[in-house]
Structure 1
Amino acid sequence: MIQPHRMMKAVYLHGPRDLRVEDADRRDVAPGTVAVDIEYTGICGSDLHEYEAGPVPIRAEGTDHSIPESDWDEHLPKPMGHEIAGTVSTVGENVEGIDVGDRVTLNMVAGCHDCRYCATGKYHLCEQGDGGVVSSRGFADRIVVPESMAVPIPDEVSLRHATLAEPLGVSLRGVRRSGLDSTDRVAVFGAGPIGLGVVAAAAAGGAREIYVSEPRAARREAAEALGADVVIDPTAIDAVERIKRETDRVEVSFECAGTATTLTDALRSTAYGETVVVLSVFEEEVSIHPNDIMQAERQLVGSFGFQGGPLASRSEFATVLDLIGDGRINPEPMITDTVPLDGVEAAFEDLRDPDSDQIKVLVEP
């Protein structure tokens, strides 16, 4: 039996719209691992997808990218929370380069180190990444992780802002995958945290002009604060027609909303021969017309996560932390609330409300 002093509180998903704060064992460090006292954990879009639909696999092409409800017992209850920043409290044997007291953010990509993708440094595409999106106990006051996941935070970056290294890393990878040039005009469809991160990363990368299509006023305002030149309410005006009228189509577009409409709009607002990047997690299949790709010779590019594993401290995380540190990205407009651990489920409900002004909510255990 686990002793009371060995327990802590953590958040687990038991099924769609069923989050519970429960007792969990307080794990010891092992060789090669570190314990981190968590200061903040962000609520991620993938967390919301699982809260809405149940456990969602990272890659499951053979089962239409879903886990059948009959198999949920294998994955539930599932620990939640993976956008984490905190302070190292204990280090295990054989840990080098991380010390007690270091402030870190966590890159939760591990990799099996044995498949074809890990062999070429693409740990985020590891073939073993086929379970739940992430199974980490980030909505808690402490977590134990491999040393490689702990990315040091520069002195000039706050723990609050470093918590957003994970979503901003996703966005930065998408911008890198696009091949963005400083002469390019950009369209972003969807201004949730990932779309807003794309705006910030594209602005930092010198994009010539940035258009954002987003129905929520608070998110349009955040997009402007992060560097958008033109924001469009697609419920009031046709975003594609506006973009085409002012630019004769952009060179790069980003789909960040996860709907059939925004995917088609991203394609049709992009110039012939240019690039569309998909960063959304789609909850279901959508239909597009293949001729929007073929006849226009557009490139449809997927972008998933960020580099991790042994590359964690040299990946998009490091670049994002540098961009925050030197002021080229200010994550503050994205952060709209901070809640205690027992306020997690209410925050999830608020985030899924289409009339809510919430964007990124941080949990402070």
Structure 2
Amino acid sequence: MRAVVRRDRQLICEEIGELEPAEGQVLVRTLACGICGSDLHALHHMERLVDLGRRGGSPDNGFDPAADTVFGHEFCAEILDHGPRSAKAMKAGTRVVSVPITLTTGGMEALGFSNRLPGGFAERMLLSEALILEVPNGLPTEMAALTEPFAVGLHAVAKARMDASSVALVVGCGPVGLAVIAALKVAGHGPVIACDYSPRRRAAAERLGADVVIDPANESPHDRWEGFGVPKSRAAQQMTRMMGATFGRPVVFECVGAPGVLQELIEAAPAGSQIIVAGVCMEADRIEPSIAVTKEIELTFVFGYTPEEFAATLHNVAEGRIDVSGLVTGRVGLEGVAAAFTALSDPEAHVKILVAPEL
């Protein structure tokens, strides 16, 4: 079967071996698979990504970053066959999504970051029958494929300690920031301030329900806190409380993942803010803890999602509570994946590109 293989920091479309489902597995045909920001990082910096993961305690099942890898963990697929002694609760032809993990006799394989099993940039994959979810409500395949990235936003919001009057600021409106905005709005939170330098991303943030959308080249988003009733300094906050007034807890979602952004937010956010760090900075960064201490800033780092959050996201999308229509701005076959990686370096070119092996 055909697949796009990462080899020597290049993407090569070629034939790889066919797959045979083992006990508890299903063989599926990839219908659509999103290109994630982590894929872009991993193409050139896989060794660094794996080293940081291992130092952070992530299981890797002996993954070799120098060996062949087939990316792709944001997918929708169609069941083709079942492994031996399978429950066969879903018939062949059923469209499914899954958390990108396949259970094997040797442990867990993280699809898209495995040397043993291909991810969604291949014509076929092996999934665990126990982890697949049927695509409901006739949800279009392209929209179902966005379940995984939007589950990241749901998890980030679940980690935020927001109250009924909280004001949220989302910094960075790439795929992670957009997922956070969608999760905030589906949970009924607002106002939500979103900022990004890209007009295309700001427009996407507005479509997903951001109440205020700001170009930071023209205005600091932090100038809006007091307009929503959130005093910025500790002294002003204490005076507000002494006067018998209340205000919502300010929560900032850092969705950029670039050096220096976290320090900027520590300095600019209101005292007592919780900063949710959802952007993945791959480089060493520097913060000045004394400022965070003085302002009693709370830092919360988030990663991934739970299976329950993944399932909830699928149903939010299927039932129209999260409207992901219009976010797919490009579609490529396997031969077009390498060029799509290049195109995604320009935030004005695309929001999300899907790989459809049949194209």
CA distance in 1, matches of 2:53, 2:310: 23
Partner of 2:356: 364
- 1:90 equivalent to 2:45? Answer no
- CA deviation digits over 1:95-139, x for unaligned, max 9? 22333222111211468999xxxxxxxxxxx9x89x997224210
**1:82–1:74 Cα change, 3 Å:** closer
SS of the aligned residue for 1:211 comes to strand
- 1:159 equivalent to 2:141? Answer yes
Q: Between the two proteins, what is the percent identity of the paired residues? A: 31
Query: 1:123-142 residue pairs with structure 2 within 5 A?
Result: 134-135=113-114, 136-142=118-124
SS of the aligned residue for 1:264 comes to helix
- CA deviation digits over 1:224-273, x for unaligned, max 9? 00011111112222333344565435611111111234323433454333
CA distance in 1, matches of 2:299, 2:131: 31
CA distance in 2, matches of 1:270, 1:113: 48
CA distance in 1, matches of 2:312, 2:56: 35
CA distance in 2, matches of 1:112, 1:187: 41
**1:62–1:329 Cα change, 3 Å:** closer
- CA deviation digits over 1:117-167, x for unaligned, max 9? xxxxxxxxx9x89x9972242101211122133222112422211101111
Partner of 1:108: 100
- 1:319 equivalent to 2:312? Answer yes
- CA deviation digits over 1:43-76, x for unaligned, max 9? 011101112423422623389x9x9xxx997532
Q: CA deviation at 1:299?
A: 1.5
**1:325–1:133 Cα change, 3 Å:** closer
Q: CA deviation at 1:332?
A: 1.7
User: Is the 8 Å Cα contact of residues 193 and 334 (structure 1) preserved in structure 2?
Assistant: no
SS of the aligned residue for 2:16 comes to strand
SS of the aligned residue for 2:130 comes to helix
Which has more radius of gyration? 2
**1:112–1:141 Cα change, 3 Å:** closer
Q: Any gaps of 5 or more consecutive residues in structure 1?
A: 1-7, 115-125
Partner of 1:248: 231
Q: CA deviation at 1:183?
A: 2.0
SS of the aligned residue for 2:257 comes to coil
CA distance in 1, matches of 2:100, 2:63: 23
- 1:27 equivalent to 2:26? Answer no
Taking structure 2 as the reference length, the TM-score comes to 0.84
**1:182–1:325 Cα change, 3 Å:** farther
User: Is the 8 Å Cα contact of residues 175 and 198 (structure 1) preserved in structure 2?
Assistant: yes
CA distance in 1, matches of 2:340, 2:159: 32
- CA deviation digits over 1:206-239, x for unaligned, max 9? 1120111111100000000001111111222233
Partner of 1:342: 335
Code of the residue aligned with 1:279 in structure 2: it is A
Partner of 1:60: 54
Code of the residue aligned with 1:211 in structure 2: it is I
Partner of 2:36: 44
Aligned CA RMSD, in angstroms, stands at: 2.9
CA distance in 2, matches of 1:269, 1:111: 45
CA distance in 1, matches of 2:221, 2:85: 55
Q: Any gaps of 5 or more consecutive residues in structure 2?
A: 233-248
User: Is the 8 Å Cα contact of residues 71 and 112 (structure 2) preserved in structure 1?
Assistant: no
